[in-house]
């Protein structure tokens, strides 16, 4: 008997990244990375790195970066937990450009950097990535109290768990927002770890009503409005709109943030980013609530500029801004950077 079942067909075509078929099948393309691999300065070869499993059940890993400064006896360094971008649908800590960013952050801050992978949509829709980030934070907590064979020797020797910062770019910055929200509402317990601040680099937020920057700005080289909308269709729970709390921090059903004790926040904004107005609104609203939030805007830059050019002039300034935030223990350092 001839089957009358129609063959699966493409319902979402993400260009060189992936295709979603009508039967739920996802084809991922291994060569989607169109960024040129950066040339690493020789000094960064002194940063040691290794991959560690943080969730054995799901096979999820993070990459630990330890700069040479961390080898000095008794000189423990702050910890920077980092989540890569990619609209929740692409990306990995293994990508050359994200790897270069984390090498640079580790070396120049300096800090012990933990760059974490997480489950991607549409195979794993939100809040899967946010749940994985919570697991990362639990892993950091466990390392803070570990001893003997259960303790990672690099972290035991080099990490100051009293100075942990959470950062990420684009979708990774969206993850950081939800980590901060879960921490502030006691949904994640990390004691004795102290999360001293969160740095959100051009966060990927959404909403149904278009902002001026979405409506008027020309497409950036690595983010267009159609691609942003498509990313949310693939990442959010099926049937959800861009006003879903997982996309819009101030949507009609989003939790009120007034009473949530957020750590100090640094919000980095790119002037020509389609999401610029959303990011500015995010920082402005939180500041109006009395939160410790500093915003630094990079003139002439587009969304994702740090990953696109990890060693460009803007990337150099971004590393300095994050370094002042980390070593100033919060938003006052970012304010100093913005005034220069």
Domains of the chain and CATH, by start = 48-338 (3.40.50.1820)
- Is the predicted pLDDT of residue 35 greater than 80, yes or no? no
Does the annotation count 170 as an active-site position?
Answer: yes
Query: Token match 């080289």: residue?
Result: 221
Q: Answer for the pair 62, 54: CB distance below 8 angstroms, yes or no.
A: yes
The full length of the chain comes to 340
Active-site entry in 158, 170, 213, 228: 170
Q: Is the pLDDT of residue 162 over 90?
A: yes
Distances (CA, A) of 95 to 30, 109, 261: 11, 21, 34
Give me the mean pLDDT over the 303-332 stretch: 89
Q: Which of 92-96, 136-140, 307-311 has the highest mean pLDDT?
A: 136-140
Using alpha carbons only, how large is the chain's radius of gyration in Å?
20
Tokens representing 35?
């960024």
The Cα 96–Cα 102 span in angstroms is: 10
> Over pLDDT 70: what percentage of the chain?
92
Q: How confident is the model at residue 335 (pLDDT cuts 50, 70, 90)?
A: very low
Task: Write out pLDDT tens, residues 24-33.
Answer: 888 887 655 6
Mean pLDDT of all residues belonging to the chain: 91
Q: Is 181 in a helix, a strand, or coil? A: helix
What number is the average pLDDT over the span 198-210?
Answer: 98
**Mean per-residue pLDDT for 204-209?**
98
Q: Residue 113: helix, strand or coil by DSSP?
A: strand
pTM over 0.85: yes
């Amino acid at each position: 008997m001839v089957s009358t079942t129609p063959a699966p067909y493409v319902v979402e075509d993400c260009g060189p990244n992936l295709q979603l078929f009508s039967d739920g099948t996802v084809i991922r393309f291994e060569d989607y990375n169109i960024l040129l691999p950066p040339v690493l300065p020789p000094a960064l070869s002194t940063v040691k790195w290794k991959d560690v499993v943080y969730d054995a059940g799901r096979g999820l890993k993070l990459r630990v970066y330890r700069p040479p400064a961390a080898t000095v006896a008794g000189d423990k360094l702050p910890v920077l937990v980092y989540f890569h971008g990619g609209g929740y649908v692409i990306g990995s800590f293994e990508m050359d450009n994200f790897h270069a960013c984390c090498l640079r952050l580790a070396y120049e801050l300096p800090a012990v950097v933990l760059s974490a992978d997480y489950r991607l949509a549409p195979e794993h829709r939100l809040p899967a990535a946010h749940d994985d980030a919570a697991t990362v934070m639990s892993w950091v907590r466990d390392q803070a109290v570990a001893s003997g064979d259960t303790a990672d020797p690099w972290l035991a020797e080099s990490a100051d768990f009293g100075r942990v910062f959470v950062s990420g770019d684009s979708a990774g910055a969206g993850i950081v927002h939800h980590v901060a929200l879960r921490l502030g509402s006691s949904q994640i317990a990390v004691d004795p770890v102290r999360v001293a601040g969160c740095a959100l680099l051009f966060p990927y937020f959404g909403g149904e009503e278009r902002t001026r920057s979405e409506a008027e700005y020309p497409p950036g080289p690595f983010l267009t409005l159609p691609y942003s909308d498509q990313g949310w269709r693939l990442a959010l729970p099926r049937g959800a709109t861009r006003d879903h709390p997982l996309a819009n921090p101030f949507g009609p059903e989003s939790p009120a943030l007034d009473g949530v004790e957020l750590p100090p926040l640094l919000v980095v904004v790119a002037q020509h980013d389609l999401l610029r107005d959303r990011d500015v609104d995010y920082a402005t609203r939180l500041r109006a609530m009395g939160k410790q939030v500093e915003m630094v805007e990079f003139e002439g830059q587009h969304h994702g500029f740090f990953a696109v050019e990890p060693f460009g002039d803007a990337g150099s300034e971004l590393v300095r801004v994050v370094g002042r935030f980390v070593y100033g223990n919060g938003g006052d350092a970012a304010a100093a950077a913005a005034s220069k």
